[in-house]
Every structure is written in structure tokens, then in C-alpha cells.
Structure 1
Amino acid sequence: MDHHSSTLAGTLFIAFLLSCSAQERHTEGQTDTMENLLQRRGYDRFLRPNFGREPVHVNLSLTVASIDLISEVNMDYTITIFLRQYWRDGRMSFEGTNLID
């Protein structure tokens, strides 16, 4: 692996770690409501979707937001990226409303 590839791989790995550790911002009421809805359905956030069955297809998109610094002397660069991972979790599907007429 050349220097440019290893720098990009390192950058992507750091972006991946940051995306995994990012915390969502919810109000306390929203969090309680979500937990109650998911708890009633037996949702376990520690188990991947389709656990024990077929693999989950994880989609990935990467956008380069900016190229901040390029050093021809050191042959490295600094970039800012947005990394998005998304998949479908059938356990969180919503099948209707409980509207009262």
C-alpha cells in the first residue's frame, strides 16, 4: 500500500470510528417514546437486523467536503469527508397509525 492509499485508509477508518461514536440528540420525551415502542416489539439494539439469517446489506456513501491541505514535500493531504452508512432494519418498520375517528 503506497503512502496516499494508507493516508486515505487511515482517514476513512477515523471517519468510521467517529460515525460509530456519534450520539443522537433527542429530548427526554422522544427517547422514552422510542424506547417504549421498540421495547414492545422485542427490539434488541445489540443484535444486528436478520440475526441468525441472511447478512444485512449495508450501503455506504462518502462525500469529500473539502481538500484542506496538500503537502507535496511530505506527500500527504488533509480532507474533510462525510461518511454515511445505511441499511434497512425490518424490526423498526411502521405498519400504520392508531388514529381515532
Structure 2
Amino acid sequence: MPTSSVKDETNDNITIFTRILDGLLDGYDNRLRPGLGERITQVRTDIYVTSFGPVSDTEMEYTIDVFFRQSWKDERLRFKGPMQR
């Protein structure tokens, strides 16, 4: 495949991805929670302890490092494709 064809295909893909993202975000208001006024939004929360300690018995203090993650589905961002070129 010639280099110019690869560049053209890459540019076409970037254009398609840009159009998809622009379409998904058109009219999207991130200040409003998903399903507002329709249903409860289920939020999944994960907390991973990555380190624990040192522990001070005398001061009753300890140090803990965690990784905190939340995830939920936002139907407003659902891709309703396919898209035309």
C-alpha cells in the first residue's frame, strides 16, 4: 500500500471519528445526571487499596493509598450508528 494511501485512510478515519464524537456530544449537557427525571442512575464504585501503613499505635494514625473508580452508563452518549462517509 503506497504511503499516500495510508495517510489518506488515516485522515478519513480521523474525520469519521471526529464526526461520531461531535454527533454524540451535540446537545449534551454534562451538568445533568444521566436519566434525569426518568430513572435512577446506578453508579458502580470500586476502591482498591494499593498500600496500607505505617500504623502508629500511640498516635492512632495510619496511612492508606487507594485507587477510587466510579462508572455508570449514560444513554445520551450511546452511538446510534452507522455513519455515512
Give the distance between the partners of 1:68 and 1:99, measured in 2 at CA. Answer: 56
* Pick aligned residue for 2:39 from 54, 70, 88: 54
Q: For residue 93 of structure 1, what is the amino acid of its counterpart?
A: R
Q: Distance in 1 between matches of 2:74 and 2:59?
A: 44
Aligned to 1:71: 56
Q: What's the TM-score, normalizing by structure 1?
A: 0.57
Could you list the runs of 5+ residues in structure 1 that have no partner in the other structure? 1-32
CA distance in structure 2 between the partners assigned to 1:53 and 1:95 by the alignment:
20
Higher helix share: 1
| Counterpart AA for 1:91 | R
After TM superposition, where is structure 1 displaced by more than 3 Å over at least 4 residues in a row? none
Query: Deviation at 1:99?
Result: 5.6
In the alignment, which of 65, 74, 79 is matched to residue 94 of structure 1? 79
Give the SS at the match of 2:55: strand
Distance 1:83 1:73 in 2: 29
Q: For 1:11-51, what per-residue CA distance to the aligned partner results, in whole angstroms no more than 9, with x for missing partners?
A: xxxxxxxxxxxxxxxxxxxxxx44x3302xx2111110001
Deviation at residue 87 of structure 1 after TM alignment: 0.4
Unaligned runs of 5+ in 2: 1-17
Q: Percent identity of the aligned residues?
A: 38
* Equivalenced residues, count: 66
